[in-house]
Amino acid sequence: MSELRLRIGGMHCVNCAGKIEKEIAALHGVEAASVNFASETLQVDYTAAAISPEMIAARISSLGYTSSSLESESPAGEEARRDLRWLIFSAVLTTPVALLMFVGGHEGVGLWISALLATIVQFTAGLTFYSGAWNALRNRSTNMDVLVALGISAAWGYSILAMTGLLGANAHNFFETGAMLVTFIRAGKWLEARARGRASRALRELLSLQPDKARLLRDGVESEVPTRTLQIGDLILVKAGERIAVDGVIESGEGAIDEAMLTGEAAPVAKGPGESVSGATINRSGLLTIRATAVGAGTVLSRIVRMVEDAQADKAPIQRLVDKVSSIFVPVVIVLALLTLGGWLFVGAEFVFALQLSIAVVVIACPCALGLATPTAIMVGSSIGLGSGILFKRASALENVARIDTVLFDKTGTLTSGSFGVTDLLPVSGIDADELLRIAATIEAGSTHPLATAVVAHAAGRNFPPLALTDVSEVGGHGLIAQSDGVPLVAGNRRLCEREGIDLAPLATEEMRLAGEGKAIVFIARNQQLLGLVALADTVKPEAIESILRLHALGLKTALITGDRRDAAQAVAATLGISEVEAEVLPGDKLTVVRRWQAQGKKVAMVGDGINDAPALAAADIGIAIGSGTDVAKETGDIVLVRGDLLDVERAIRLGRATLSKIRQNLFWAFVYNIVGIPIAAGLLYPHFGLILKPEFAGLAMAFSSVSVVSNSLLLNRIKKKLRG
């Protein structure tokens, strides 16, 4: 299978997107096709042996639309400028027509001027609606253009007939209606294109961060080259204030790296030789020489952009219902318009009156507002997440994370640092704690076991150099035996000490207490006499407790899943305030645990960072991968927390809830607009209130309904500051 992503131009409403999606999906060799009307993109999964990208592009062209690569400028930007030009043109010609209407210019020279100007507007600025309607009808579908073309044609056609006297001497014309309709809808489309452009601005700004040039070091000679020509293994020189062009490892130099574009963190991170840096981040100070490890599409920035593009091209579950409604919307509106015309004629209304109302019904209906309600909110929500170091890989993730009621956490590397630290030093009577630590570090220096390295690191941090050792031997799974100046030393667990005849009774009570807290215990002995013990534990991440508290404040249930022994797991859970513990779970059984929670009717999010978490991340309703974890976890998760900050779990859920709330608001107002607007346009209020909605103002209302939906989605940006808290 291959994947193709294209920008699509010429779509005027969600029905256009639906038609393209349906026709491309029907092509032989195409596995799936998805069109996002808001971002104006098409994603196609296809078999390269059966169909080519050129064939897909040709089919799009035959439908009356344009296609281009994603690197090209967004059609929203092009359309906004084009719509503005047409808006100015049509407004200049429509203004005299409207003024003549108000001063009674319905006959003589005034009538001819109105007819001429209205006709020019109709078949220049209004030509796009005829073109779109023709493309839709010849492909056996309907869209917003069909409604607009029907409305302006009816108004203009009737006025021409009235002007020529074919409808009788007293027939009225309303040339201003068609001209004002075109102008108002053009105004709405311009504002809509601008708003959609703002919704996708974050992604375009991210793409622009990659520098065009880089300083290449080859054989000691520095030269400036285009970034696109760099290869893995190249040496890059980066001066203070410059953007880093590639992902790489620092070979020499130290600098403060501004990674805000990746993580959202404002404070630069100090880095030196051997440490990794990412492309598009900024070297705020120092001179760096960097060895490229990833270039072009392989960089972190490119992968992030791709993730966000995939999320914005994806469809949220709620959108599928909207697509079904939109597909039958236009035919239903046309039927309602015909019923309006027939109904008013049946009750004895004049034909012009009935026609105006039926035109108003046609033009006030707006499938675009329905079509934009979900994708624009998704675009804004995913962009906010992007700026906060939270990557939503699918649109469905933004919607589904809002429905989560249970969060399952992996322990090691997720809630804890994944590395042991010394928590307690308990010497027996007569032994100094510093002496105990020095002896412990001396023995443990002979091993690479995680517990041993933790003890040595703790001693080094307190400037305790190890003593000289001879005859060090490691007893697998038990500890170490060594000699110093002919004196035997032991560092190990209870079994090793008992084997060596060491009495552990002086610290038996403390041993039980610490073991009950889930800590690992290393006994230290010299010449078969117990000196004390060292207790170690996998340290809880500093932000873990607050993260759990915030999740509980949102009304969520939390649980801990780990392969560790139960006492260690329960100790960590008690520290964090987690009541549910799934301990001693084998790597392959984490998936089973997730499904058991789901079987209880829970909407489950799984948070993890390791390879053994990948199946559970995939099975959960939402998989949340810690960004500092393995690539497998990041590939499997629906959400990636780039900073590795546990507080971002709660932030992701809050952002998801805010986005879903905005989608519901948009859909509510879009449906209410049509439910209320269409009956008003049909004259429902006229018999009682004497109120009718002229077609041109119905068109204005239709245009601004789409703008209001997009603008409401943009209000999501208000949550940015709250997410930082």
pLDDT tens digits, residue range 465-484? 667 777 788 887 788 898 88
Query: What is residue 267's predicted lDDT score, i.e. its pLDDT?
Result: 66
Q: Do 429 and 534 fall within a single domain?
A: yes
DSSP 10: -
Q: Do 191 and 90 fall within a single domain?
A: yes
Report how far apart, in Å, the C-alpha atoms of 642 and of each of 211, 605, 629, 651, 652 are: 22, 17, 9, 13, 12
Query: What is residue 205's predicted lDDT score, i.e. its pLDDT?
Result: 66
Q: Do 427 and 487 fall within a single domain?
A: yes
**HSE-CB for 706 with a 13 A CA cutoff:** 30
Domain boundary among 641, 656, 671: 656
Alpha-carbon torsion (531, 537, 540, 545), positive or negative: negative
Other CB atoms closer than 10 Å to residue 479's CB: what's the count? Answer: 27
How far is Cα 528 from Cα 531, in angstroms, rounded to an integer?
9
Question: Which of 335-371 are b and which e, b meaning 16 or more Cβ less than 10 Å from the residue's Cβ?
Answer: ebbeebbeebeeeebeebebbbbbbbbbbbbbbbbbb
Q: What is the mean pLDDT of the chain?
A: 83
The first and second tokens of residue 362, run together, are 């046609």
Residue 512 included in any domain: yes
Q: How confident is the model at residue 249 (pLDDT cuts 50, 70, 90)?
A: very high
Query: What is residue 630's predicted lDDT score, i.e. its pLDDT?
Result: 47
How does pLDDT run across 632-683, given as a tens digit for each residue?
556 667 888 888 889 999 999 999 999 999 989 988 888 888 888 889 888 8
Whether 410 sits among the annotated catalytic residues: the reply is: yes
The first and second tokens of residue 608, run together, are 């993890």
Total structural domains within the chain: 5
Q: Tokens 């009816």 sit at which residue?
A: 154
48-57, 244-253, 304-313 — which is least confidently predicted? 304-313
Residue 606 included in any domain: yes
Residue 467 included in any domain: yes
Closest Cα partner for 637 from 626, 628, 645?
626
How does pLDDT run across 573-600, given as a tens digit for each residue?
888 999 899 888 876 688 889 999 999 9
Catalytic position from the list 83, 145, 410, 609? 410
Over range 374-397, report the average pLDDT: 82
Query: What is residue 170's predicted lDDT score, i.e. its pLDDT?
Result: 61
Model-level pTM greater than 0.75? no
Residue 78 included in any domain: no
Q: What is the DSSP string of 189-236?
A: HHHHHHHHHHHTHHHHHHHTTS-SEEEEEETTEEEEEEGGG--TT-EE
Q: Do 526 and 667 fall within a single domain?
A: no
Domain at 462, CATH number: 3.40.1110.10
139-143, 235-239, 329-333, 711-715 — which is least confidently predicted? 139-143
Query: What is residue 628's predicted lDDT score, i.e. its pLDDT?
Result: 58
How far is Cα 535 from Cα 62, in angstroms, rounded to an integer?
73
Q: Do 238 and 104 fall within a single domain?
A: no
